[in-house]
Amino acid sequence: MRILTAAVEHWPLAKPFRIARGTRTMADVVVATVTADGLFGRGEGVPLARYGETAERARDQIVSVVDALAGGAGREELRALLPPGAARNAVDCALWDLEARLAAAGGPPLSPIATALTVGIDTPARMAEAARALADARVVKVKVDADDPAAALRAVRAEVPAARLVVDANESWSLDLLAVMQPVLAECGVEFLEQPLPAAEDAALGGFVRSVPICADESAHVAADLDRLATRYDMVNIKLDKSGGLTEALYLLAGARARGLGVMVGCMISTSLSIAAAWRVAQAADCADLDGPLWLREDRPGGVRLDAGGMLMPPEPGFWGQTAGLPSPRT
């Protein structure tokens, strides 16, 4: 019999993290643990205030499926028992972890990933200073809002002339501002722009002539969204906390590829427990943004780390599951 438990944890950040919707100083997460046959699996979810989630509500959602899991419900059944979000993500990933441990199969080590390193919103001068510290970064992600994003973007680009550059507006732009920013995005060599318009207004992107690809983030949750997104966006940002776990994320990945959409794999401010699951999808992505644990004052022991060359190194063996027995990112 499988025993499911849930706990809320709070992880302080090393410094404030500011995006268009506000500033964070703490990562509140919910951790699900599934135990069976003397082994356990762990999964972490980060509740998103954007969708009305809290850590306590996510914990209560997890508790609501304790009996179902004890009675034999698995990952596919879980998709019907819980809505997409942090709670389902935590339980789904815990089940993947447990299944891999029960398989007890070895495998090759995971490869490092070139992750985006994020520059949060601040004055252009301070954003330039933050970018200067990322001289070795292969990919830099710039958070902007509607307050002179051109100045912020130019300030960062001047400090990282060789890096791949991604811009994330987090729903803060209007269609007029998006049009004004097209030459600036091209001038700065931006690889793609994330979620410029509010999700409720993104139908306007259907006929919009763009200078760089546009990636859906807040508009993209599950595979069922893809037919709508394919007429508005060029890419989707897959985050396990939005999709409700690795199971749905793999469906989303396969569906995006079938429609010719590019794929980014992102994360919230989280511990390495969240990143370990997202790593499997990132193997097949065009861009990874998995720097969430790097914002924490302290991460879980054995988690991810950044090497001297700016590459994100995988968690230590056994931190989460086994390499063999985990899903193929191209399934």
Question: Which is catalytic among the residues 15, 141, 239, 242?
Answer: 239
Retrieve residue 45's tokens.
């979810």
141 labelled catalytic: no
Q: What is the DSSP letter of 308?
A: T
d(CA 271, CA 266): 13
Query: What distances in angstroms separate CA 134 from CA 29, 164, 260, 291, one per listed residue?
Result: 27, 12, 32, 12
Q: Determine contact, residues 91/43, Cβ cutoff 8 Å.
A: yes
User: What are the distances in angstroms from CA 42 to CA 25, 38, 94, 187, 284?
Assistant: 24, 14, 4, 44, 23
- Residues 11 and 25: their CA atoms lie apart, in Å, by 9
Point out the catalytic residue in the list 15, 141, 143, 242. 143
Rounded CA-CA distance 34/91 in Å is 8
Give the burial class of 285: count Cβ atoms within 10 A of its Cβ; 0-12 exposed, 13-18 middle, 19 or more buried. Answer: buried
Task: Note if 239 is an active site residue.
Answer: yes
For the record, the structure tokens of 249 come out as 């994320």
Catalytic residue annotation? 143, 239
